[in-house]
Amino acid sequence: MSLSAAAFVKGFVEYREDSQIRGVILNQISPMMYPRLKQIIEETLPVKVYGYVPVVKDCVLESRHLGLVMPEEIADLHDKLMKLADILERSVDIDGLLELAEGAEELPVQEPLTGYHTKRSVRIALAKDEAFCFFYQDNLELLEEMGAQLIPFSPIHDEKLPENIDGMLFHGGYPELYAKALSENKKMLTSVREAVQAGIPYMAECGGFMYLHQEMEDMEGHSWPMAGVIPGKSWRTPRLTRFGYITLEDGTCFGKNVGGIRAHEFHYFDSDNCGESYTARKPLSSRSWNCIHSDRQGMSGFPHMYYYSNLQVPEQFLRTCEERKA
């Protein structure tokens, strides 16, 4: 174990000449083993060991099929975090880490210039509840910076969309855990479907994309009627499907060619109608696949897009919302 740990650290340190790795913290190591591992690593490699994280069984945070359990679902989360903090204060060299950080070079940071701002406030209905809880906060803040007013609503608990909206956002989460409740909220499903039929612009990704299907399976394989915006069915697969970082290419965003869009996919579900408006390409790989439904009214698909990778994406969405409002 000692030599294996040293070899593991050596691989990361020396794989690139500019790795910038100056120290390590050893995870799930026993107090008895730590001194020996620390000695071997520091004697053979140009890095310092700044402590260890022991195994604390009663502080384990459970995971599910996507590895994410929401904080409000974890019993006694605050107490667990406080216990871990107390342990780490004794097992990790906090002062040493602060000293190391103070000696680091300043990182050049250039804030992206958004440029675009709506001429008037644009009201965007944002699906947000226990079923839809996965967001890039940067994306939401960028939309607000560009002039969007985000109006949260719950596809589970509310009976209709917010009043006087100009657009809709359906992000990711765990709709498969709440498929029955989502399906039985017929008034909301009708409200969403009629909004799309009325021409309201929308964006939907991953779990939100699944919600817009005609049918969606739950975790037990039962099918439930959904919003019916996207023809077809979404179902569970036995493994991760199309996992990792991608670049979306060769498509149009609300009718405009905006170039490449960086995104990622991370889901156990698939669809018989993933869309063909874009080509998703994996970095450092020849692998690619078709995805995304995109037209002048909406974009929907499994990829989670990062708006700062292409500022024209949120701009085109808000322009479309504003043009319809006018």
Which residues are marked as active site?
A: 206
- Tell me which DSSP letter residue 308 carries: G
> Coil, helix or strand for 179?
helix
Map tokens 């322009």 to a residue: 319
Angle at which helix 2-15 crosses helix 34-44, to 10 degrees, equals: 40
User: Contact at 8 Å (CB) between 160 and 192?
Assistant: no
Cα 151 to its chain centre, rounded Å, is 20
> Hey, what are 205's tokens?
């990704």
Total residues found in the chain within this entry: 326
Angle at which helix 312-325 crosses helix 137-145, to 10 degrees, equals: 50
User: Contact at 8 Å (CB) between 44 and 2?
Assistant: no
Amino acid at 79: D
Burial per residue of 57-67, b for 16 or more beta-carbon CB atoms within 10 angstroms, e otherwise: eeeeeeeeebe
Burial, 123: exposed, middle or buried (Cβ in 10 Å; 0-12, 13-18, 19+)? middle
> Hey, what are 246's tokens?
């991608």
User: Contact at 8 Å (CB) between 165 and 123?
Assistant: yes
Q: Which helix (H) or strand (E) holds 238?
A: strand 230-249
Distance CA 319, CA 316 (A): 5
Sign of CA dihedral 248, 281, 230, 161: negative
